[in-house]
A and B are shown apart, each in its own frame.
Chain A
Amino acid sequence: MNILNTFHLYVRSMGMLLKSHLQYPASFIMQTLAQLVMEGGEMLAVILVVDRFETLMHWTGGNLFFFFGLMSVSFYITEFFGRGVTGNFPSMVRTGQLDTLLLRPRAVLTQVLCSGTDPRRITCIAVGVAALIVGSNMSDVTWSVPKVLALVESILMSGMLILGLFLIEGIFCIHSVKSVELVNAITYGGRSACQYPIDIYPRPLKILFTVVAPFALTMHVPAAYILGKPLYGWPVWTVFVTPLSGAVVFTVMTLLFNRGIKFYRSTGS
Protein backbone atom coordinates (compact mmCIF):
# COMPACT_ATOMS: atom_id res chain seq x y z
CA MET A 1 0.00 0.00 0.00
CA ASN A 2 2.71 2.38 1.08
CA ILE A 3 4.92 1.37 -1.81
CA LEU A 4 2.06 1.84 -4.26
CA ASN A 5 1.38 5.26 -2.81
CA THR A 6 5.03 6.22 -3.13
CA PHE A 7 5.11 4.95 -6.70
CA HIS A 8 2.00 6.93 -7.51
CA LEU A 9 3.65 10.04 -6.10
CA TYR A 10 6.75 9.36 -8.18
CA VAL A 11 4.74 8.98 -11.37
CA ARG A 12 2.82 12.18 -10.70
CA SER A 13 6.04 14.07 -9.92
CA MET A 14 7.60 12.82 -13.13
CA GLY A 15 4.56 13.98 -15.07
CA MET A 16 4.87 17.40 -13.60
CA LEU A 17 8.60 17.62 -14.22
CA LEU A 18 8.10 16.61 -17.85
CA LYS A 19 5.55 19.36 -18.12
CA SER A 20 8.04 21.87 -16.80
CA HIS A 21 10.72 20.68 -19.23
CA LEU A 22 8.27 21.22 -22.07
CA GLN A 23 7.71 24.80 -20.96
CA TYR A 24 10.77 25.64 -22.99
CA PRO A 25 10.24 23.55 -26.14
CA ALA A 26 12.97 25.09 -28.29
CA SER A 27 15.60 24.67 -25.62
CA PHE A 28 14.36 21.16 -24.93
CA ILE A 29 14.65 20.07 -28.56
CA MET A 30 18.08 21.67 -28.97
CA GLN A 31 19.42 19.99 -25.87
CA THR A 32 17.94 16.65 -26.81
CA LEU A 33 19.65 16.86 -30.19
CA ALA A 34 22.88 17.92 -28.52
CA GLN A 35 22.68 14.77 -26.42
CA LEU A 36 22.25 12.75 -29.61
CA VAL A 37 25.40 14.27 -31.07
CA MET A 38 27.29 13.62 -27.84
CA GLU A 39 26.24 10.00 -27.48
CA GLY A 40 26.58 9.45 -31.21
CA GLY A 41 30.17 10.63 -30.85
CA GLU A 42 30.80 8.09 -28.13
CA MET A 43 29.38 5.39 -30.38
CA LEU A 44 31.59 6.60 -33.22
CA ALA A 45 34.61 6.04 -31.01
CA VAL A 46 33.60 2.39 -30.62
CA ILE A 47 32.96 2.10 -34.34
CA LEU A 48 36.46 3.40 -35.03
CA VAL A 49 38.00 0.92 -32.62
CA VAL A 50 36.07 -1.95 -34.23
CA ASP A 51 36.98 -0.73 -37.69
CA ARG A 52 40.67 -0.55 -36.85
CA PHE A 53 41.16 -3.69 -34.79
CA GLU A 54 38.13 -5.85 -35.62
CA THR A 55 38.55 -7.71 -32.38
CA LEU A 56 39.63 -6.74 -28.89
CA MET A 57 41.15 -9.78 -27.24
CA HIS A 58 38.50 -12.45 -27.73
CA TRP A 59 35.67 -9.92 -28.23
CA THR A 60 34.37 -9.27 -31.73
CA GLY A 61 33.18 -5.92 -33.01
CA GLY A 62 29.58 -6.94 -32.50
CA ASN A 63 30.37 -7.83 -28.90
CA LEU A 64 31.82 -4.39 -28.34
CA PHE A 65 28.71 -2.70 -29.70
CA PHE A 66 26.65 -4.82 -27.36
CA PHE A 67 28.70 -3.78 -24.34
CA PHE A 68 28.50 -0.16 -25.37
CA GLY A 69 24.74 -0.37 -25.82
CA LEU A 70 24.24 -2.08 -22.49
CA MET A 71 26.10 0.67 -20.67
CA SER A 72 24.35 3.48 -22.56
CA VAL A 73 20.90 2.10 -21.97
CA SER A 74 21.54 1.43 -18.27
CA PHE A 75 23.26 4.72 -17.57
CA TYR A 76 20.85 6.98 -19.40
CA ILE A 77 17.71 5.23 -18.22
CA THR A 78 19.05 5.88 -14.74
CA GLU A 79 19.66 9.53 -15.55
CA PHE A 80 16.23 9.76 -17.17
CA PHE A 81 14.40 8.46 -14.14
CA GLY A 82 16.81 9.26 -11.32
CA ARG A 83 18.06 12.71 -12.22
CA GLY A 84 17.15 13.84 -8.70
CA VAL A 85 19.95 11.65 -7.39
CA THR A 86 22.38 11.81 -10.31
CA GLY A 87 22.17 15.54 -10.83
CA ASN A 88 20.12 17.71 -8.53
CA PHE A 89 21.06 16.67 -5.05
CA PRO A 90 24.34 18.58 -4.49
CA SER A 91 22.71 21.87 -5.41
CA MET A 92 19.76 21.03 -3.18
CA VAL A 93 22.14 20.82 -0.25
CA ARG A 94 23.91 24.03 -1.22
CA THR A 95 20.78 26.11 -1.73
CA GLY A 96 19.02 24.78 1.35
CA GLN A 97 16.29 23.14 -0.71
CA LEU A 98 17.01 20.06 1.41
CA ASP A 99 15.36 21.85 4.32
CA THR A 100 12.08 22.06 2.43
CA LEU A 101 12.22 18.32 1.79
CA LEU A 102 12.67 17.72 5.51
CA LEU A 103 9.45 19.63 6.15
CA ARG A 104 7.34 17.13 4.27
CA PRO A 105 5.99 13.85 5.58
CA ARG A 106 7.93 11.70 3.13
CA ALA A 107 11.30 9.99 3.07
CA VAL A 108 14.02 12.34 1.85
CA LEU A 109 15.31 9.92 -0.77
CA THR A 110 11.81 9.48 -2.20
CA GLN A 111 11.50 13.22 -2.54
CA VAL A 112 14.93 13.54 -4.09
CA LEU A 113 14.00 10.91 -6.66
CA CYS A 114 10.73 12.74 -7.28
CA SER A 115 12.56 16.00 -7.81
CA GLY A 116 14.26 15.36 -11.10
CA THR A 117 14.09 13.75 -14.48
CA ASP A 118 16.17 14.26 -17.55
CA PRO A 119 14.01 13.51 -20.59
CA ARG A 120 16.70 14.85 -22.91
CA ARG A 121 18.48 11.55 -22.35
CA ILE A 122 15.90 9.87 -24.54
CA THR A 123 18.20 10.24 -27.56
CA CYS A 124 21.10 8.67 -25.66
CA ILE A 125 18.90 5.75 -24.75
CA ALA A 126 17.91 5.42 -28.39
CA VAL A 127 21.58 5.27 -29.44
CA GLY A 128 22.13 2.63 -26.76
CA VAL A 129 19.21 0.54 -27.96
CA ALA A 130 20.48 0.78 -31.54
CA ALA A 131 23.91 -0.38 -30.41
CA LEU A 132 22.36 -3.30 -28.51
CA ILE A 133 20.41 -4.40 -31.59
CA VAL A 134 23.34 -4.02 -33.98
CA GLY A 135 25.66 -5.68 -31.48
CA SER A 136 23.46 -8.70 -30.90
CA ASN A 137 22.81 -9.12 -34.63
CA MET A 138 26.50 -8.96 -35.46
CA SER A 139 27.24 -11.40 -32.65
CA ASP A 140 24.55 -13.80 -33.93
CA VAL A 141 22.81 -13.96 -30.57
CA THR A 142 19.95 -16.42 -30.51
CA TRP A 143 17.52 -14.85 -28.09
CA SER A 144 15.79 -17.03 -25.51
CA VAL A 145 13.66 -16.24 -22.49
CA PRO A 146 16.55 -16.58 -20.00
CA LYS A 147 18.67 -14.31 -22.15
CA VAL A 148 15.98 -11.64 -22.29
CA LEU A 149 15.52 -11.92 -18.54
CA ALA A 150 19.27 -11.65 -18.03
CA LEU A 151 19.33 -8.49 -20.15
CA VAL A 152 16.43 -6.88 -18.28
CA GLU A 153 17.90 -7.77 -14.91
CA SER A 154 21.28 -6.48 -15.97
CA ILE A 155 19.84 -3.11 -16.99
CA LEU A 156 17.78 -2.79 -13.82
CA MET A 157 20.58 -3.78 -11.49
CA SER A 158 23.13 -1.62 -13.28
CA GLY A 159 20.68 1.25 -12.84
CA MET A 160 20.53 0.62 -9.12
CA LEU A 161 24.29 0.39 -8.99
CA ILE A 162 24.61 3.73 -10.77
CA LEU A 163 22.08 5.33 -8.40
CA GLY A 164 24.02 3.89 -5.47
CA LEU A 165 27.28 5.32 -6.77
CA PHE A 166 25.73 8.74 -7.25
CA LEU A 167 24.38 8.53 -3.71
CA ILE A 168 28.00 8.49 -2.54
CA GLU A 169 28.33 11.94 -4.04
CA GLY A 170 25.19 12.97 -2.15
CA ILE A 171 26.58 11.62 1.10
CA PHE A 172 29.80 13.58 0.58
CA CYS A 173 27.76 16.71 -0.09
CA ILE A 174 25.80 16.32 3.12
CA HIS A 175 29.07 16.17 5.03
CA SER A 176 30.10 19.26 3.08
CA VAL A 177 33.09 17.50 1.65
CA LYS A 178 34.08 18.71 -1.76
CA SER A 179 35.59 15.56 -3.18
CA VAL A 180 33.07 15.21 -5.94
CA GLU A 181 35.82 14.60 -8.48
CA LEU A 182 36.78 11.44 -6.67
CA VAL A 183 33.24 10.15 -6.94
CA ASN A 184 33.03 11.14 -10.59
CA ALA A 185 35.94 8.78 -11.19
CA ILE A 186 33.71 5.83 -10.45
CA THR A 187 30.42 7.19 -11.79
CA TYR A 188 31.25 8.85 -15.09
CA GLY A 189 34.62 7.10 -15.10
CA GLY A 190 32.83 3.81 -14.58
CA ARG A 191 30.53 4.53 -17.47
CA SER A 192 33.40 5.28 -19.84
CA ALA A 193 35.55 2.38 -18.72
CA CYS A 194 32.87 -0.29 -18.44
CA GLN A 195 31.39 0.27 -21.86
CA TYR A 196 34.20 -2.03 -22.85
CA PRO A 197 34.55 -5.59 -21.50
CA ILE A 198 36.24 -5.58 -18.14
CA ASP A 199 38.88 -8.21 -18.93
CA ILE A 200 40.75 -5.87 -21.28
CA TYR A 201 41.83 -3.82 -18.26
CA PRO A 202 44.77 -4.31 -15.87
CA ARG A 203 44.18 -5.93 -12.51
CA PRO A 204 43.61 -2.83 -10.30
CA LEU A 205 40.83 -1.60 -12.58
CA LYS A 206 39.31 -5.07 -12.69
CA ILE A 207 39.22 -5.09 -8.90
CA LEU A 208 37.78 -1.56 -8.78
CA PHE A 209 34.93 -2.44 -11.12
CA THR A 210 34.24 -5.80 -9.51
CA VAL A 211 34.44 -4.98 -5.83
CA VAL A 212 33.92 -1.23 -5.40
CA ALA A 213 31.72 -0.36 -8.35
CA PRO A 214 30.73 -3.82 -9.56
CA PHE A 215 29.80 -3.03 -13.17
CA ALA A 216 31.59 -6.26 -14.05
CA LEU A 217 29.03 -8.17 -11.99
CA THR A 218 25.90 -6.29 -13.10
CA MET A 219 26.83 -5.98 -16.78
CA HIS A 220 29.70 -8.04 -17.98
CA VAL A 221 28.74 -11.39 -16.52
CA PRO A 222 25.22 -11.32 -18.02
CA ALA A 223 26.59 -9.83 -21.25
CA ALA A 224 29.12 -12.66 -21.58
CA TYR A 225 26.28 -15.12 -21.08
CA ILE A 226 24.05 -13.46 -23.67
CA LEU A 227 26.91 -13.30 -26.17
CA GLY A 228 27.68 -16.98 -25.56
CA LYS A 229 31.13 -16.44 -24.08
CA PRO A 230 32.67 -18.59 -21.35
CA LEU A 231 31.78 -17.48 -17.80
CA TYR A 232 35.18 -18.16 -16.26
CA GLY A 233 33.84 -21.70 -15.76
CA TRP A 234 31.00 -20.51 -13.50
CA PRO A 235 27.61 -22.23 -13.67
CA VAL A 236 24.86 -20.42 -15.61
CA TRP A 237 22.76 -19.46 -12.58
CA THR A 238 25.50 -17.12 -11.41
CA VAL A 239 24.46 -14.90 -14.33
CA PHE A 240 21.28 -14.10 -12.46
CA VAL A 241 22.92 -13.75 -9.05
CA THR A 242 25.94 -11.52 -9.62
CA PRO A 243 23.91 -8.55 -10.94
CA LEU A 244 22.13 -8.42 -7.58
CA SER A 245 25.29 -6.71 -6.32
CA GLY A 246 23.77 -3.57 -7.86
CA ALA A 247 20.85 -3.78 -5.45
CA VAL A 248 23.28 -4.41 -2.59
CA VAL A 249 25.28 -1.28 -3.38
CA PHE A 250 22.06 0.72 -3.66
CA THR A 251 20.76 -0.57 -0.33
CA VAL A 252 24.00 0.10 1.51
CA MET A 253 24.23 3.59 0.07
CA THR A 254 20.60 4.30 0.93
CA LEU A 255 21.30 3.38 4.54
CA LEU A 256 24.40 5.56 4.59
CA PHE A 257 22.46 8.34 2.92
CA ASN A 258 19.81 8.21 5.62
CA ARG A 259 22.52 8.34 8.25
CA GLY A 260 23.91 11.34 6.41
CA ILE A 261 20.53 13.04 6.66
CA LYS A 262 20.53 12.34 10.38
CA PHE A 263 23.98 13.90 10.59
CA TYR A 264 22.75 16.92 8.62
CA ARG A 265 19.88 17.37 11.04
CA SER A 266 22.16 17.23 14.03
CA THR A 267 24.78 19.59 12.66
CA GLY A 268 22.94 21.93 10.39
CA SER A 269 24.71 23.62 7.54
Chain B
Amino acid sequence: MSYIEVENLRKTFTVRKKREAGKLFREKEIVEALKGISFTVDKGELVGYIGPNGAGKSTTVKILSGILTPESGRAEVGGRVPWKDRKEYVRHIGVVFGQRSQLWWDVPIIDSFSLLKDIYRIPEKDYLNRLQELTDALQLKSFMRKPLRLLSLGQKMRAELCGSLLHSPELLFLDEPTIGLDAVSKLALRDFLKWENKEHGTTIMLTTHDMEDISALCSRVMVLGHGQKLFDGKLPELLERFDTVRTVVVKYNTENPKLVLPAGVVKDKKDDEIHITYSPVDIPTADMLAILQNAGTISEMTLQSENIDHLIAAMYKEMDL
Protein backbone atom coordinates (compact mmCIF):
# COMPACT_ATOMS: atom_id res chain seq x y z
CA MET B 1 0.00 0.00 0.00
CA SER B 2 1.31 3.40 -0.93
CA TYR B 3 1.64 6.26 1.50
CA ILE B 4 -0.79 8.50 -0.37
CA GLU B 5 -3.62 6.86 -2.24
CA VAL B 6 -6.07 8.94 -4.17
CA GLU B 7 -8.82 7.39 -6.16
CA ASN B 8 -11.32 9.09 -8.38
CA LEU B 9 -11.40 12.28 -6.37
CA ARG B 10 -14.07 14.72 -7.40
CA LYS B 11 -14.84 18.21 -6.27
CA THR B 12 -17.27 20.76 -7.62
CA PHE B 13 -17.76 24.32 -6.57
CA THR B 14 -20.90 26.34 -6.94
CA VAL B 15 -20.12 29.80 -8.13
CA ARG B 16 -22.80 32.41 -7.92
CA LYS B 17 -22.93 34.51 -11.03
CA LYS B 18 -23.82 38.15 -11.07
CA ARG B 19 -27.53 38.67 -11.24
CA GLU B 20 -28.67 39.28 -14.77
CA ALA B 21 -31.12 42.05 -15.54
CA GLY B 22 -34.74 40.95 -15.41
CA LYS B 23 -34.05 37.86 -13.35
CA LEU B 24 -35.04 37.56 -9.75
CA PHE B 25 -32.31 35.24 -8.54
CA ARG B 26 -28.68 35.00 -9.32
CA GLU B 27 -27.83 32.05 -11.47
CA LYS B 28 -25.52 29.47 -10.11
CA GLU B 29 -22.76 27.90 -12.07
CA ILE B 30 -21.22 24.61 -11.15
CA VAL B 31 -17.49 24.41 -11.69
CA GLU B 32 -15.85 21.03 -11.66
CA ALA B 33 -12.52 21.61 -9.99
CA LEU B 34 -11.53 17.96 -9.94
CA LYS B 35 -13.04 15.46 -12.32
CA GLY B 36 -11.93 12.19 -10.86
CA ILE B 37 -8.23 12.26 -10.04
CA SER B 38 -6.30 9.13 -9.10
CA PHE B 39 -2.68 8.70 -8.11
CA THR B 40 -0.45 7.18 -5.50
CA VAL B 41 2.66 8.53 -3.86
CA ASP B 42 5.17 6.45 -1.94
CA LYS B 43 6.70 7.45 1.33
CA GLY B 44 9.73 9.68 0.87
CA GLU B 45 8.85 10.70 -2.66
CA LEU B 46 9.30 14.26 -3.86
CA VAL B 47 6.51 14.97 -6.30
CA GLY B 48 5.90 18.04 -8.39
CA TYR B 49 2.39 19.00 -9.24
CA ILE B 50 2.05 21.40 -12.15
CA GLY B 51 -0.66 22.82 -14.32
CA PRO B 52 -1.97 26.20 -15.38
CA ASN B 53 -3.85 28.44 -12.97
CA GLY B 54 -7.24 27.01 -12.14
CA ALA B 55 -6.30 23.46 -13.04
CA GLY B 56 -7.23 22.13 -9.62
CA LYS B 57 -3.80 22.00 -7.99
CA SER B 58 -4.74 23.97 -4.92
CA THR B 59 -8.00 22.09 -4.59
CA THR B 60 -6.11 18.80 -4.48
CA VAL B 61 -3.74 20.18 -1.87
CA LYS B 62 -6.64 21.51 0.18
CA ILE B 63 -8.41 18.16 0.09
CA LEU B 64 -5.28 16.22 0.97
CA SER B 65 -4.52 18.59 3.81
CA GLY B 66 -7.97 18.16 5.30
CA ILE B 67 -9.30 21.66 4.66
CA LEU B 68 -11.88 20.60 2.09
CA THR B 69 -14.14 17.61 1.80
CA PRO B 70 -14.42 16.11 -1.68
CA GLU B 71 -17.67 15.35 -3.45
CA SER B 72 -16.79 11.73 -3.95
CA GLY B 73 -13.77 9.52 -4.28
CA ARG B 74 -11.31 8.05 -1.84
CA ALA B 75 -8.12 9.42 -0.37
CA GLU B 76 -5.87 8.08 2.32
CA VAL B 77 -2.62 9.44 3.62
CA GLY B 78 -0.69 7.06 5.81
CA GLY B 79 -3.89 5.13 6.44
CA ARG B 80 -5.84 8.22 7.50
CA VAL B 81 -8.63 9.93 5.61
CA PRO B 82 -7.71 13.64 5.51
CA TRP B 83 -11.21 15.07 5.91
CA LYS B 84 -12.16 12.76 8.78
CA ASP B 85 -10.96 13.67 12.25
CA ARG B 86 -9.23 16.81 11.04
CA LYS B 87 -7.51 17.62 14.34
CA GLU B 88 -5.81 14.24 14.53
CA TYR B 89 -4.90 14.22 10.85
CA VAL B 90 -3.27 17.65 10.61
CA ARG B 91 -0.78 16.74 13.35
CA HIS B 92 1.01 14.64 10.76
CA ILE B 93 1.20 17.09 7.91
CA GLY B 94 2.74 20.47 7.25
CA VAL B 95 1.55 22.97 4.67
CA VAL B 96 3.25 26.06 3.31
CA PHE B 97 1.25 28.43 1.16
CA GLY B 98 3.58 30.65 -0.84
CA GLN B 99 1.28 33.61 -0.55
CA ARG B 100 -0.23 33.16 2.88
CA SER B 101 1.54 33.34 6.17
CA GLN B 102 0.89 31.20 9.17
CA LEU B 103 3.24 33.08 11.48
CA TRP B 104 2.35 36.15 13.48
CA TRP B 105 3.12 39.41 11.74
CA ASP B 106 4.33 41.69 14.53
CA VAL B 107 6.25 39.43 16.86
CA PRO B 108 9.76 37.93 16.62
CA ILE B 109 9.58 34.67 14.70
CA ILE B 110 11.01 32.76 17.65
CA ASP B 111 7.85 33.71 19.58
CA SER B 112 5.69 32.40 16.75
CA PHE B 113 7.57 29.11 16.85
CA SER B 114 7.15 28.87 20.59
CA LEU B 115 3.40 29.36 20.24
CA LEU B 116 3.26 26.74 17.50
CA LYS B 117 4.93 24.40 19.96
CA ASP B 118 1.93 24.88 22.26
CA ILE B 119 -0.59 24.60 19.45
CA TYR B 120 0.86 21.30 18.30
CA ARG B 121 1.63 20.19 21.87
CA ILE B 122 5.22 19.37 20.94
CA PRO B 123 7.21 18.11 23.94
CA GLU B 124 9.79 20.69 25.05
CA LYS B 125 12.81 18.52 24.32
CA ASP B 126 11.67 17.50 20.82
CA TYR B 127 10.88 21.12 20.12
CA LEU B 128 14.30 22.40 21.12
CA ASN B 129 16.10 19.72 19.11
CA ARG B 130 14.02 20.27 16.03
CA LEU B 131 14.26 24.04 16.30
CA GLN B 132 18.03 23.84 16.57
CA GLU B 133 18.21 21.58 13.55
CA LEU B 134 15.95 23.76 11.43
CA THR B 135 17.69 26.94 12.55
CA ASP B 136 20.96 25.54 11.23
CA ALA B 137 19.54 24.09 8.05
CA LEU B 138 17.58 27.21 7.16
CA GLN B 139 20.09 29.69 8.60
CA LEU B 140 17.52 31.49 10.67
CA LYS B 141 19.80 32.57 13.46
CA SER B 142 20.51 36.11 12.27
CA PHE B 143 16.83 37.09 12.16
CA MET B 144 15.31 34.85 14.81
CA ARG B 145 14.47 37.85 17.01
CA LYS B 146 13.09 40.02 14.25
CA PRO B 147 9.35 40.28 13.70
CA LEU B 148 8.05 38.70 10.53
CA ARG B 149 7.09 42.02 8.97
CA LEU B 150 10.73 43.14 8.87
CA LEU B 151 11.97 40.06 7.01
CA SER B 152 12.77 39.86 3.33
CA LEU B 153 10.67 37.58 1.19
CA GLY B 154 13.36 34.90 1.20
CA GLN B 155 13.76 35.08 4.98
CA LYS B 156 10.00 34.93 5.38
CA MET B 157 9.77 31.77 3.32
CA ARG B 158 12.52 30.16 5.39
CA ALA B 159 10.71 31.12 8.58
CA GLU B 160 7.44 29.72 7.21
CA LEU B 161 9.18 26.46 6.35
CA CYS B 162 10.56 26.19 9.84
CA GLY B 163 7.11 26.89 11.28
CA SER B 164 5.47 24.17 9.25
CA LEU B 165 8.13 21.58 10.02
CA LEU B 166 8.52 22.07 13.78
CA HIS B 167 6.12 19.26 14.56
CA SER B 168 8.10 16.93 12.26
CA PRO B 169 5.32 16.12 9.80
CA GLU B 170 5.51 13.03 7.64
CA LEU B 171 4.13 14.91 4.70
CA LEU B 172 4.81 18.43 3.55
CA PHE B 173 2.71 20.32 1.03
CA LEU B 174 4.21 23.35 -0.61
CA ASP B 175 2.00 25.62 -2.64
CA GLU B 176 4.22 27.70 -4.94
CA PRO B 177 7.05 27.99 -2.44
CA THR B 178 9.50 29.84 -4.68
CA ILE B 179 7.10 32.48 -5.89
CA GLY B 180 8.82 35.85 -5.92
CA LEU B 181 12.13 34.60 -4.53
CA ASP B 182 15.48 35.67 -5.92
CA ALA B 183 17.90 33.17 -7.44
CA VAL B 184 20.00 32.67 -4.30
CA SER B 185 16.96 32.13 -2.11
CA LYS B 186 15.47 29.70 -4.60
CA LEU B 187 18.62 27.61 -4.68
CA ALA B 188 18.89 27.61 -0.89
CA LEU B 189 15.25 26.61 -0.58
CA ARG B 190 15.66 23.71 -3.00
CA ASP B 191 18.75 22.51 -1.18
CA PHE B 192 16.87 22.60 2.07
CA LEU B 193 13.92 20.63 0.70
CA LYS B 194 16.27 17.98 -0.65
CA TRP B 195 17.96 17.83 2.73
CA GLU B 196 14.70 17.51 4.66
CA ASN B 197 13.49 14.84 2.27
CA LYS B 198 16.68 12.83 2.58
CA GLU B 199 17.37 13.37 6.25
CA HIS B 200 13.88 12.67 7.59
CA GLY B 201 12.27 10.82 4.72
CA THR B 202 9.59 13.51 4.61
CA THR B 203 7.28 13.05 1.67
CA ILE B 204 7.01 16.32 -0.21
CA MET B 205 4.40 17.42 -2.70
CA LEU B 206 4.86 20.78 -4.29
CA THR B 207 2.84 22.80 -6.72
CA THR B 208 4.73 25.32 -8.74
CA HIS B 209 4.93 27.27 -11.96
CA ASP B 210 8.69 27.28 -11.83
CA MET B 211 9.98 24.43 -13.95
CA GLU B 212 13.42 24.78 -12.42
CA ASP B 213 11.87 23.73 -9.09
CA ILE B 214 10.66 20.56 -10.72
CA SER B 215 13.83 19.72 -12.59
CA ALA B 216 16.01 20.43 -9.55
CA LEU B 217 13.87 18.64 -7.00
CA CYS B 218 11.28 16.25 -8.22
CA SER B 219 11.84 12.72 -9.29
CA ARG B 220 8.30 12.69 -10.49
CA VAL B 221 5.91 15.19 -11.95
CA MET B 222 2.16 15.20 -12.35
CA VAL B 223 0.45 17.51 -14.80
CA LEU B 224 -3.05 18.65 -14.05
CA GLY B 225 -5.39 20.46 -16.38
CA HIS B 226 -9.11 21.11 -16.32
CA GLY B 227 -9.38 19.00 -13.20
CA GLN B 228 -7.86 15.95 -14.81
CA LYS B 229 -4.52 14.28 -14.53
CA LEU B 230 -2.81 14.51 -17.89
CA PHE B 231 0.62 13.15 -17.17
CA ASP B 232 2.33 11.28 -14.37
CA GLY B 233 5.96 10.29 -14.69
CA LYS B 234 9.52 11.52 -14.80
CA LEU B 235 10.27 15.01 -16.03
CA PRO B 236 12.58 13.85 -18.90
CA GLU B 237 9.78 11.66 -20.22
CA LEU B 238 7.42 14.59 -20.16
CA LEU B 239 9.91 16.80 -21.94
CA GLU B 240 10.68 14.18 -24.54
CA ARG B 241 7.07 14.12 -25.54
CA PHE B 242 6.88 17.78 -26.23
CA ASP B 243 10.47 18.53 -26.96
CA THR B 244 9.83 18.43 -30.66
CA VAL B 245 12.27 21.01 -31.86
CA ARG B 246 16.08 21.19 -31.57
CA THR B 247 18.43 23.77 -32.92
CA VAL B 248 22.04 23.16 -33.85
CA VAL B 249 24.34 26.07 -34.40
CA VAL B 250 27.43 25.15 -36.42
CA LYS B 251 30.43 27.08 -37.64
CA TYR B 252 32.60 25.61 -40.40
CA ASN B 253 36.24 26.17 -41.18
CA THR B 254 35.47 25.10 -44.72
CA GLU B 255 34.26 27.74 -47.12
CA ASN B 256 30.81 26.93 -48.48
CA PRO B 257 30.25 23.55 -46.84
CA LYS B 258 28.23 21.14 -48.95
CA LEU B 259 25.28 20.79 -46.66
CA VAL B 260 22.57 18.50 -48.00
CA LEU B 261 19.65 18.56 -45.57
CA PRO B 262 16.64 16.25 -45.58
CA ALA B 263 13.18 17.68 -46.10
CA GLY B 264 11.55 19.40 -43.15
CA VAL B 265 14.75 20.86 -41.77
CA VAL B 266 15.07 24.60 -41.60
CA LYS B 267 18.37 26.26 -42.35
CA ASP B 268 19.12 29.82 -41.40
CA LYS B 269 22.41 31.62 -41.95
CA LYS B 270 23.53 34.37 -39.58
CA ASP B 271 27.00 35.71 -40.42
CA ASP B 272 29.19 32.63 -40.43
CA GLU B 273 26.89 30.66 -38.13
CA ILE B 274 24.40 28.23 -39.55
CA HIS B 275 21.26 27.60 -37.49
CA ILE B 276 19.60 24.32 -38.28
CA THR B 277 16.26 23.51 -36.72
CA TYR B 278 15.04 19.95 -36.86
CA SER B 279 12.80 17.53 -35.06
CA PRO B 280 14.53 14.65 -33.32
CA VAL B 281 11.44 12.56 -33.95
CA ASP B 282 11.92 12.80 -37.73
CA ILE B 283 15.71 12.71 -37.81
CA PRO B 284 17.58 11.17 -34.87
CA THR B 285 20.17 13.57 -33.50
CA ALA B 286 22.99 11.14 -34.32
CA ASP B 287 22.01 11.14 -38.00
CA MET B 288 21.79 14.89 -38.00
CA LEU B 289 25.28 15.20 -36.58
CA ALA B 290 26.61 12.79 -39.22
CA ILE B 291 25.14 14.92 -41.99
CA LEU B 292 26.71 18.03 -40.51
CA GLN B 293 30.11 16.40 -40.20
CA ASN B 294 30.11 15.15 -43.74
CA ALA B 295 29.61 18.66 -45.04
CA GLY B 296 32.99 19.97 -43.95
CA THR B 297 35.33 20.67 -41.05
CA ILE B 298 33.38 21.95 -38.07
CA SER B 299 35.02 24.62 -35.95
CA GLU B 300 32.27 25.13 -33.40
CA MET B 301 28.94 23.54 -32.66
CA THR B 302 26.24 23.89 -30.01
CA LEU B 303 23.09 21.86 -29.66
CA GLN B 304 20.19 23.71 -28.07
CA SER B 305 17.03 22.24 -26.76
CA GLU B 306 13.97 24.35 -26.25
CA ASN B 307 13.55 26.43 -23.11
CA ILE B 308 11.64 24.43 -20.54
CA ASP B 309 8.95 27.09 -20.09
CA HIS B 310 8.27 27.12 -23.81
CA LEU B 311 7.89 23.38 -23.66
CA ILE B 312 5.35 23.59 -20.92
CA ALA B 313 3.51 26.31 -22.78
CA ALA B 314 3.48 24.10 -25.87
CA MET B 315 2.26 21.22 -23.77
CA TYR B 316 -0.58 23.24 -22.21
CA LYS B 317 -1.50 24.35 -25.71
CA GLU B 318 -1.51 20.86 -27.10
CA MET B 319 -3.50 19.54 -24.20
CA ASP B 320 -5.87 22.41 -24.83
CA LEU B 321 -5.52 23.97 -21.41
Contacts and interface: CB of A to CB of B under 8 A. Distances in A.
A179 interface: no
A259 interface: no
Interface in B19-68: 33, 59, 62, 65-68
Contact of A265 (B83, B95, B107): B83
Nearest to B86: A102
A266 interface: yes
A105 B106 contact: no
Interface in A238-266: 265-266
B118 A104 contact: no
Given A5-B121, A23-B106, A267 B62 contact: no
A103 interface: yes
Given A20-B104, A99-B67, A267-B13, A104 B111 contact: no
Contacts of B147: 20, 23
Interface string A85-129: 000000000011101101111110001000000000000000000
A56 interface: no
Contact of B100 (A5, A23, A99, A267): A99
Interface in A14-32: 16, 19-21, 23
Interface in B99-123: 100-102, 104-107, 111-112, 115, 118-121
A99 B59 CA distance: 12
B115 A13 contact: yes
Contacts of B200: none
B91 interface: yes
Nearest to A19: B107
A257 B19 CA distance: 28
B88 interface: yes
A265 B115 CA distance: 25
Contacts of B121: 5, 105
Contacts of A268: 11, 13, 33, 59, 62, 68
B197 interface: no
Contacts of B86: 102, 265
Contacts, number: 76
Interface residues of A, number: 26
B173 to A, nearest CB: 9
Interface in B112-160: 112, 115, 118-121, 147
A102 B118 contact: no
A200 interface: no
A16 B9 CA distance: 40
A100 B86 CA distance: 13
A96 B68 CA distance: 13
A102 B83 CA distance: 11
A12 interface: yes
Contacts of B279: none
A106 B67 contact: no
Contacts of A44: none
Contacts of B112: 16
A5 B104 CA distance: 21
Contact of A106 (B87, B95, B102): B87
B247 interface: no
Contacts of A96: 100
Interface in A68-98: 95-97
23 contacts: A9-B118, A16-B112, A19-B106, A20-B106, A23-B106, A96-B100, A97-B100, A99-B67, A100-B101, A102-B66, A103-B67, A103-B93, A103-B95, A103-B102, A105-B91, A105-B121, A106-B87, A106-B119, A111-B119, A265-B83, A268-B11, A268-B13, A268-B33
Given A12-B118, A100-B97, 9 more contacts: A12-B115, A13-B115, A20-B107, A21-B106, A96-B100, A105-B88, A105-B91, A265-B86, A268-B59
Interface of B: 11, 13-14, 33, 59, 62, 65-69, 83, 86-88, 90-91, 93, 95, 97, 100-102, 104-107, 111-112, 115, 118-121, 147
Going nearest first, the 7 A-B pairs with the smallest beta carbon separation are A20-B106, A266-B69, A100-B102, A105-B87, A102-B67, A105-B91, A23-B106
